[in-house]
């Protein structure tokens, strides 16, 4: 194993290959050694994982869907605090993130879009986050995160043409009181404290409470003032009530809130960051404030033949970004962007009981579900750009404020859906699904100057979009441990209005995809090894792309730029080499390009790579635990993650080369006390995962943010 360290990035091309070989060799070696001992070995196998990728619970290895589940134990072992950290082991999955917490956009297989209209929707306990501003929150009391890849519009509707991220909270205990207090400390003066408590208030009523506070100094220094500018601080909490009045009924009330007060964006000229990472020079230091509050009620009745599920969700959020918009030491432009939204959603779903599918014949059964979904959302924004004297024109010798935009966008929608699986002889499954969506949006937007030096631009518009999304799959089980499948599905992303845009860019149309996929899921080595392989092909039409607005620094709009294709493969392997030893690995390859004739901002982008899509992702690692003596256990984990090269823009004029990160964790557990240490990005790989075009103000034509540097620390936790 060889590491070559450069000033800008770490190259470790041999690492994923070496560990991937170990993933295949080690389980076989362990099994062979057990067999040679002459004694029947104790049975060691991987636990069964149940997911809700198709809304109703199902075993992950029996679903004709590409899904990666990160369980509660894995989240703890990985030290995951936000959703994007859990995605490191998921093939063809990346998150485009900035310093601001609200800017976290998932991209599956090359599919991604604007925060205001995501292509991969995050569902928190069944409630869709219609704006990405609320999708990345601190994780508390989470039981599982599921990354479902491929269009899911036939079940989930809008904004899921790339896939779905399901975040599922842990149910409060009805039998005993449990609790845990965790206090991590790290470099950059990182300090965090989290407390969780769960237990029964009555035989049928459980209560859960989780609270936390975390903060750290920034990674990036402002050379003008000597301050770190991207500091972080947040306070967060979640409370739950879990009521089971009868064995068939359960109701959950989940209330959560987060208040974050962070520093400014760490954006700077791309060329400058390449030579001096984590360094900026600006005269003005801003802030990023966000408040998120949500309430969810999930009620479910499991009848002898039919189950009924109702999911009601309320989400309210506000953000305020104050930043130096020219990202330079000169007092040129600042921006104060205030946004807020209120969202209500309701879904009612009926399904055949898991233990009682409809028997159509002696050899054929039917499992079905059908439902209705409705939502409303009111979005408001007032973004003010303040220009220095003479900057707009030599004839304007005074500061000018531009509201770009000020206004509201109201939207509502209604959908009906159905999903059915015909199982024949417990060998062949045929699944079909369809969903019909109808949405209405109304926009009232103004762009104007104070004092008024130009006419006010006003947009008052209303539009309606309707869509039908079908899906179908055929799966065949050659035995209890092997399943092959082929699936076809159509995805869509709603059209809408841009709060601000160039002339004639106020409205954008729907985006559609057709996805075909073939896969094999296997369990072998006596239940110790899972291997999943999938190949996919995606065709886009009316591709929505988030583009910078010419002559409007730091502002973006959505535009339909034509077509695109994405094709690739995915491989996942999980192995239990022995008691207390787990191995894991994944690899994904994606070739995502614009179709011939695609035009963006007046330029031909035919056959260019789609921005922020690595040509491959790879991850591999090992985790172990061992009892030293009674009530004393040591544990450790190591993982290597590599992302291929990306392009920052649709013109493919700038990008980032492949980079590798190594993460390590280890510690000791003594009864209820656990002490562990960790290091992320152990070899301090230097990379810039996010940048965008910034002509006129950035010398290189782009501004970006440096990726997370090496961080390390220790953690103490006490539980009961």
Give the model's confidence band at 594: pLDDT under 50 very low, under 70 low, under 90 confident, else very high. very high
Residue 537 has pLDDT above 70, yes or no: yes
Average pLDDT over residues 363-367: 95
Give the model's confidence band at 701: pLDDT under 50 very low, under 70 low, under 90 confident, else very high. very high
Tokens representing 169 are: 């909270």
For position 607, what pLDDT does the model report?
Answer: 93
Chain-centre distance for alpha carbon 658: 21
pLDDT tens across 572-593, in order?
999 999 889 999 999 999 999 9
**DSSP-based three-state secondary structure for 172:** coil
For position 145, what pLDDT does the model report?
Answer: 96
For position 25, what pLDDT does the model report?
Answer: 36
Find all residues with CB under 8 Å of 565, minimum gap 6, and list them: 537, 538, 539, 540, 592, 593, 595
Give the model's confidence band at 326: pLDDT under 50 very low, under 70 low, under 90 confident, else very high. very high
For position 275, what pLDDT does the model report?
Answer: 95
pLDDT tens across 400-458, in order?
999 989 999 999 999 999 999 999 998 999 999 999 999 999 999 999 999 999 999 89
Residue 620 has pLDDT above 90, yes or no: yes
Q: Which range, of 71-75, 210-214, 679-683, averages the lowest pLDDT?
A: 71-75
Residue 696 has pLDDT above 90, yes or no: no
Phi-psi category of 504—alpha, beta or left, where left has phi over 0 and alpha has psi -120 to 50? left
Do 519 and 536 form a contact (C-beta atoms < 8 A)? no
Spatial CA neighbour of 392 closest among 435, 453, 347: 453
Average pLDDT over residues 677-703: 94
> Model's pTM, two decimal places?
0.91
Tokens representing 174 are: 């009805």
For position 494, what pLDDT does the model report?
Answer: 85
Half-sphere exposure of residue 444: CA atoms within 13 angstroms, side-chain side? 4
pLDDT tens across 78-130, in order?
999 999 999 988 999 999 888 888 888 899 999 886 777 888 999 999 999 99
**Domains delineated in the chain:** 4-37+52-719 (2.40.170.20)
Do 483 and 475 form a contact (C-beta atoms < 8 A)? yes
Q: For residues 167 and 142, give the distance between their C-alpha atoms in angstroms, rounded to a whole number.
A: 7
Give the model's confidence band at 32: pLDDT under 50 very low, under 70 low, under 90 confident, else very high. very low
Do 539 and 513 form a contact (C-beta atoms < 8 A)? yes
Residue 305 has pLDDT above 50, yes or no: yes
Q: Which range, of 131-135, 430-434, 534-538, averages the lowest pLDDT?
A: 131-135
Residue 34 has pLDDT above 70, yes or no: no
Average pLDDT over residues 694-715: 94
Tokens representing 38 are: 């002459």
Alpha-carbon separation of residue 403 from 456, 458, 500 (angstroms): 10, 12, 10
Mean pLDDT of the chain: 90
- Which stretch of DSSP H or E encloses residue 74? helix 72-78
pLDDT tens across 375-413, in order?
999 999 999 999 999 998 899 999 999 998 999 999 999
Average pLDDT over residues 491-504: 83
> Tokens 């859906």 label which residue?
417
> Tokens 């072992």 label which residue?
77
- Supply the DSSP string of 241-294, one letter for each residue: EEE-SSTTEEEEEEEEEEEEEE-----EEHHHHHHSTTEE--S---EEEEEEEE
For position 42, what pLDDT does the model report?
Answer: 52
Q: Which range, of 43-57, 206-220, 237-251, averages the lowest pLDDT?
A: 43-57
pLDDT tens across 514-525, in order?
999 999 999 999
Find all residues with CB under 8 Å of 580, minimum gap 6, and list them: 624, 625, 626
Give the model's confidence band at 36: pLDDT under 50 very low, under 70 low, under 90 confident, else very high. very low
Give me Rg for the CA atoms of the chain: 26
Give the model's confidence band at 43: pLDDT under 50 very low, under 70 low, under 90 confident, else very high. low
For position 450, what pLDDT does the model report?
Answer: 94
């Amino acid at each position: 194993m060889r590491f070559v360290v450069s000033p800008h990035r770490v190259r470790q091309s041999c690492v994923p290959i070496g560990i991937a070989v170990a993933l295949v060799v080690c389980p076989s070696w362990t099994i062979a050694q057990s067999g040679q001992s002459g004694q029947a070995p104790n049975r060691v196998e991987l636990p069964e994982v149940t997911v809700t990728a198709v809304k109703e619970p199902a075993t992950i290895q029996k679903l004709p869907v590409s899904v990666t589940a990160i369980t509660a134990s894995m989240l703890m072992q990985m030290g995951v605090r936000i959703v994007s950290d859990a995605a490191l082991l998921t093939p063809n999955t990346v998150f485009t993130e900035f310093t601001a917490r609200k800017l976290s956009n998932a991209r599956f297989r090359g599919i991604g879009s604007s925060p205001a209209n995501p292509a991969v929707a995050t569902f928190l306990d069944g409630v869709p986050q219609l704006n990405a501003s609320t999708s990345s929150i601190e994780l508390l009391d989470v039981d599982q995160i599921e990354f479902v890849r491929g269009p899911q519009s036939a079940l989930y509707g809008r904004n899921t043409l790339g896939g779905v991220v399901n975040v599922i909270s842990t149910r409060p205990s009805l039998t005993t009181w449990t609790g845990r207090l965790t206090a991590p400390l790290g470099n950059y003066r990182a300090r965090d404290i989290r407390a969780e408590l769960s237990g029964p208030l009555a035989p049928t009523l459980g209560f859960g409470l989780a609270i936390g506070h975390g903060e750290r100094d920034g990674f990036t220094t402002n050379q003008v003032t000597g301050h770190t500018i991207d500091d972080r601080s947040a306070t967060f909490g979640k409370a739950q009530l879990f009521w089971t009045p009868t064995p068939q009924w359960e109701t959950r009330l989940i209330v959560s809130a987060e208040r974050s007060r962070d520093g400014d964006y760490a954006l700077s000229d791309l060329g400058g960051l390449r030579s001096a990472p984590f360094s900026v020079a600006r005269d003005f230091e801003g802030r990023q404030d966000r408040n998120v509050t949500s309430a969810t009620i999930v009620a479910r009745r499991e009848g002898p033949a039919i189950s009924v599920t109702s999911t009601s969700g309320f989400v309210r959020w506000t953000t305020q970004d104050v930043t130096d918009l020219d990202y330079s030491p000169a007092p040129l432009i600042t921006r104060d962007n205030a946004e807020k939204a209120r969202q209500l959603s309701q879904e009612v779903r009926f399904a055949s009981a898991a233990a009682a599918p409809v028997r159509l014949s002696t050899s054929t059964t039917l499992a079905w579900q059908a439902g209705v979904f409705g939502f409303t959302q009111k979005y408001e924004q007032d973004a003010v750009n303040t220009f220095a004297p003479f900057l707009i024109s030599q004839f304007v010798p005074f500061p000018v404020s531009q509201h770009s935009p000020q206004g509201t966008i109201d939207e509502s929608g209604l959908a009906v859906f159905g999903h059915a699986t015909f199982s024949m002889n417990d060998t062949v499954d045929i699944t079909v699904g369809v969903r019909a969506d109808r949405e209405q949006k109304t926009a009232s937007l103004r762009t104007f100057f104070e004092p008024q030096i130009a006419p006010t631009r006003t947009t008052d518009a209303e539009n309606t979009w309707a869509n039908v999304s079908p899906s179908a799959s055929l799966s065949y089980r050659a035995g209890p441990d092997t399943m092959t499948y082929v699936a076809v599905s159509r995805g869509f992303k709603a059209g809408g209005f841009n709060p601000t845009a160039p002339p004639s860019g106020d409205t954008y149309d729907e985006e559609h995809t057709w996805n075909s996929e073939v896969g094999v899921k296997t369990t072998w080595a006596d239940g110790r090894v899972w291997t999943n392989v999938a190949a996919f092909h995606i065709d886009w039409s009316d591709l929505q792309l988030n583009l910078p607005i010419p002559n409007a620094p730091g502002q973006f709009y959505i535009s339909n730029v034509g077509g695109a294709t994405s094709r690739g493969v995915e491989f996942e392997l999980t192995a239990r080499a022995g008691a207390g030893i787990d191995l894991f690995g994944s690899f994904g390859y994606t070739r995502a390009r614009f179709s011939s004739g695609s035009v963006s901002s007046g330029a031909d982008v035919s056959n260019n790579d789609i921005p922020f899509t690595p040509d491959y992702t790879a991850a591999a690692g090992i985790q172990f635990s061992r009892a030293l003596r009674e009530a004393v256990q040591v544990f450790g984990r190591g993982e290597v993650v590599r992302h291929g090269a990306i392009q920052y823009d649709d013109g493919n004029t700038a990008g980032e080369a492949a980079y590798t990160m190594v993460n390590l964790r280890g510690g000791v557990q003594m009864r209820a006390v656990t002490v562990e240490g960790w290091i992320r990005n152990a070899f301090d790989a230097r990379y810039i995962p996010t940048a965008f075009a910034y002509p006129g103000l950035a010398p290189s034509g782009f501004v970006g943010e440096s990726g997370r540097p090496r961080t390390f620390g220790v953690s103490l936790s006490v539980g009961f």
